[in-house]
A and B are shown apart, each in its own frame.
Chain A
């Protein structure tokens, strides 16, 4: 079945440093979504990318969807302590209906 992997699994950064998580799907995706889950909380939707090569920005966050629609990345510029949490990509397989498969997640810790 479809697998969605993320690297790295964990990342510790100093506040102010940049952070990137990479997402790779075993199959072509119709779209990719990103969610953030704070410790002890539930996932919160951040953004959805649909088009091949699409790039979207939300303040310090930049999201990219690969040309082949099988990979994506999230880059955070100048991390802050409020960025702490686990970031998940989630994708729907092209032609695979409504099932949303979550990536393995990247846990981000930001130290002062």
Chain B
């Protein structure tokens, strides 16, 4: 089945130690997104790629970076995780039909713990 895969599902890191979360998709969608979701809150968009075009949200901290080496893969790098970065990180994809963007498909998320 076509899907969005996130690895690992659970990640533990130490305060200040860089960490990379990965996302892959078999849907061949040209748009990929990263959301941050803290406990009991709604998902918050960090940034997204339309093909290779990177779009950063204005309030996304510089501590968060992303890479998309090809259509299938997208990475979230947290350069110096703080305690406040502990959250669920969700990857999503969508496709484009004409000038419209279709529904988003979300992965299961990676839960990040910062010690």
Is B one of A's binding partners? no
